[in-house]
Chains A and B, each alone.
Chain A
Amino acid sequence: MAAGAQEVVDDQLVVNGEIPIVTEAPAPDYASALGTIRSGWTFRSEDTQMMQADDFDNPGMLGVEAARAAFNSEMGTGGESCASCHDDPESLSTVRGTYPKWDEEHGTVQTVEMQVQECQTERMGMEEPYGYNSTDMINMVALLSSVARGTPVNVAIDGPAEATWKQGEEMYYTRYGQLELSCANCHEDNYDNMIRADHLSQGQINAFPAYRLKDAALVSVQNRFRGCIRDTMGETFAVGSPEFVALELYVASRGNGLSVEGPSVRN
């Protein structure tokens, strides 16, 4: 219904006047129904768009600053900080665009959150790593996103990740809940249309974590998924569940070619 009919936003997102962000790109083959993939940024009002163009105006950057301090703080039993092994967050700038990613050692697809938990439990001796959806974790992911801004989303979907990707694809087209709505009903068939007061985007995740003005907080990818399934009058999956990891890989791949953009600002 919406394909081809969208108004083209001609203004470009350049963060801090120096990091150009690709907000529109040709759709990968497996998402050809979209024609052009578009960041959620292109669907937002000009005021909201502007807030993301300058770090001083982006409230999500407060979380990034908190995580930068945490990155350099000792945690766990070995007296180490993230910086003990990773120098600075900038050294991890290839992470955000390539995750979720197959982890050979654990034989599973890992999200950024799972990778951070892995370092905390297996390398830093933390019995209680950051909770998957905790503020500390969301801030850390925001930090890893911020240092990756402008790099391409480029998740691998073949090889050992393929089965997980396929699971995510199937979920994307499943009509959940009493309203029987799939992700595709809203974000593939109807992007650019209005559902009540909401201007539907393509539901891309290149821009996560997102600072939601409505919640006055940074929101993780999977928490957004949870909200969308709840809105189908459905029983959601848990944040951090294997199902949501699979869905995250699939949805991330639909944005292959956009830039990493988080932390973003959304209404």
Chain B
Amino acid sequence: GTTFATATAFAETAPKDVAFDEYGEVAESLTGTAGDPESGAALMDRGKGNCIACHQVSDLSELPFQGDIGPSLDGAAGRWSEAQLRGIVVNAKNTFPDTMMPSFYHTGPYIRPGDGFTGKAPEGELPPILTAQAVEDVVAYLMTLTDEQN
């Protein structure tokens, strides 16, 4: 619940304070709390990270209609270190300049940001698409993708 989120908030690195190295890596955990791969897997689905809108993940084959805009994430943990994966999820544009991949732990500036998927202007400041802990969870899940499946 909300109380928990507020209680942990002060320990988190805010989106604007994330330290990237020159290749876009983020070495430090955003929260200091280890990510949970199971919640990470759930975040890959619709309405949250929605990663599979663009990526295939064989491990999540029970989720239908995986996209093919980006590369398959099978074996991602073999290709990238944890710091690199965190950097990609936080803001992939530092790793892949001009990439189509959205920046998930970022607060703009954006051109005509909206209030979620309403098409309307937001009321106040926009939170990042994923919370700091959600990023850690997704990274923890990506770190389990060691097999090249196809």
Q: In the bound complex, do residue B119 and residue A194 qualify as a contact, i.e. CB atoms below 8 Å apart?
A: no
The dominant DSSP class at the B interface is loop
Q: In the bound complex, do residue A234 and residue B114 qualify as a contact, i.e. CB atoms below 8 Å apart?
A: yes
**CB-nearest residue of chain A relative to B103?**
A180
Q: Does A121 contact B (CB under 8 A)?
A: no
Q: Does B10 contact A (CB under 8 A)?
A: no
Interface residues in B, total, Cβ within 8 A? 30
Interface residues in A, total, Cβ within 8 A? 26
Question: Which of A195, A226, A235 makes the CB contact (< 8 A) with B53?
Answer: A195
Q: In the bound complex, do residue A196 and residue B67 qualify as a contact, i.e. CB atoms below 8 Å apart?
A: yes
Alpha-carbon distance A189/B98, docked complex (angstroms) = 12
Q: In the bound complex, do residue B65 and residue A178 qualify as a contact, i.e. CB atoms below 8 Å apart?
A: no
Q: In the bound complex, do residue B111 and residue A233 qualify as a contact, i.e. CB atoms below 8 Å apart?
A: no
Alpha-carbon distance A179/B118, docked complex (angstroms) = 13
Q: In the bound complex, do residue B112 and residue A176 qualify as a contact, i.e. CB atoms below 8 Å apart?
A: yes
Alpha-carbon distance A230/B116, docked complex (angstroms) = 8
Enumerate chain B residues within 8 angstroms of A179, measured Cβ to Cβ. Answer: 102, 129
Q: In the bound complex, do residue B114 and residue A197 qualify as a contact, i.e. CB atoms below 8 Å apart?
A: no
Query: Min CB distance, B45 to chain A, in Å?
Result: 10
CB-defined interface of B120-150 with A at 8 Å, one 1/0 digit per residue? Answer: 1110001001000000000000000000000
Q: Does B9 contact A (CB under 8 A)?
A: no
| A174 with B114, Cβ < 8 A, contacts A195-B53, A195-B67 known | no
Q: In the bound complex, do residue B119 and residue A229 qualify as a contact, i.e. CB atoms below 8 Å apart?
A: yes
Q: In the bound complex, do residue B126 and residue A194 qualify as a contact, i.e. CB atoms below 8 Å apart?
A: no
Q: Does B68 contact A (CB under 8 A)?
A: yes
Q: Does A193 contact B (CB under 8 A)?
A: yes
Query: Min CB distance, B2 to chain A, in Å?
Result: 22
**CB-nearest residue of chain B relative to A179?**
B102
Alpha-carbon distance A246/B121, docked complex (angstroms) = 21
| A180 with B68, Cβ < 8 A, contacts A185-B100, A230-B119, A234-B119 known | no
Chain A residues packing against B (C-beta within 8 Å):
1, 174-181, 185, 189-190, 193-197, 226, 229-236
User: Which 7 residue pairs of A and B lie closest in terms of their CB atoms, listed nearest first?
Assistant: A230-B119, A197-B65, A196-B53, A236-B119, A179-B102, A235-B114, A235-B121
